[in-house]
Structure 1
Amino acid sequence: MSKLIILRGNSGSGKTTVAKALQHSFPQGTVMSIGQDEVRRDMLNIKDDTSNLAVLAIETLAIFGCQHYPIVIIEGILSRKKYGHMLDKLQELFDQTHCYYFDLSFETTVSRHQQRIQRFSFSEINMANWWLDKDYLKFENEKMIGPEMSQIEIVKLLRADVWEN
């Protein structure tokens, strides 16, 4: 049974940290994690526009993951406008999809960003320019992650959702 976990939300909301913690909470070799930033910035070195090749690359990696791993995590801002169609197609491919949106205020994401190692990589102004308010996919099972949940609580919730289904 293949399971897809989608973690979406604005920059600085904690998606990458949660994805890594979640991946490492499962036995080694059972979870493939695909980060939008790693694919788009690090692998492809391209801008995030509507025709960027990161969409196809993420889709291709996820298909590979579906064939070889029981659990695939895709995390990133993953705006509905640019990535929504691809995520919708992947939802059909996997046996189960668990979709989560980090629904946080701009102030909360800025505060969290200030606590990160890469806090000097981009500014609050950059974050404001990238901000997408309430950019839900509107998947039937999309769940909201609020500011009151800690990283540990989020990982426990996601693990429970994945194992119970």
Structure 2
Amino acid sequence: MVGTEDTRLVVLRGNSASGKSSVAAAVRDRFGRGLALVGQDNLRRIVLRERDRPGAANIGLIDITARYALDAGFHVIVEGILYADHYGDMLAQLRADHRGPTHAYYLHVPLEQTLVRHATKPIAHEVGEEALRSWYRELDLLPDGVETVIGTDSTLDETVDRILHDTGLAGLPPREEERRDH
């Protein structure tokens, strides 16, 4: 078992350019301290510099990082494309092991809109339309209907509000920091 009855675990998935990172950052900014952001891109691309494939090391690193933060009393958002066939088993076990409430969301953006959004990102000159099309998976949902699908009709603020309220984070205080005199 991991975390406490009071910790919140939020899984935020979707295709590239669906707004996952923006939503996760905005939820954390609005909540305040005490909410750990476990980003797939950071751990997979920056920390490990590995490709996304079944059984890759980042899957375990995402899992252990989320578990560590939950055990330390942080609420956690696990955010990324997190393909169901690569990450589904790990996410299911993490959900099953978490003592507190767990909520999962899938940000659904149609391919054509994904291409338009991607063109505005700094990485657009490195990653072309062909690669984006090959990565895209229409409604790559986890089994058992555990995810709430949020479509493009939901604005960033509406999505953040929904997650904060659904998860109960809206009613919780941010974590107090210990003050040190150095």
TM range (shorter): over 0.9
RMSD: 1.5
Pick the aligned partner of 1:6 from 3, 11, 17: 11
Q: CA deviation at 1:139?
A: 4.2
Please give the secondary structure, in 1, of the residue aligned with 2:138. coil
* Map of 2:69 onto structure 1: 65
Any gaps of 5 or more consecutive residues in structure 1? none
**TM-score normalised by L of structure 1:** 0.93
**How many residues get paired?**
164
The C-alpha deviation readout for 1:98-135, integer Å capped at 9, x for no partner, is 10001121011111212223332311111111111111
Q: Give the alignment partner of residue 116 of structure 1, picking from 113, 117, 121.
A: 121
Cross-structure match for 1:36: 40
* Aligned-residue offset at 1:41: 0.5
Greater C-alpha Rg: 2
Match of 1:99 in 2: 104
Moved over 6 A (4+): none
2-side partners of 1:49 and 1:118: how far apart?
21
Matched, 1:18 2:23: yes
Q: SS at the partner of 2:12?
A: strand
Displacement after TM superposition at 1:92 (Å):
1.2
What SS does the corresponding residue of 2:104 show, helix, strand or coil?
A: strand
Contact 1:36/1:78, CA 8 A, preserved across alignment: yes
Unaligned runs of 5+ in 2: 1-5, 172-182
**Alignment correspondent of 2:175:** none
Query: Please, what TM-score do these two structures have when normalized by structure 2?
Result: 0.85
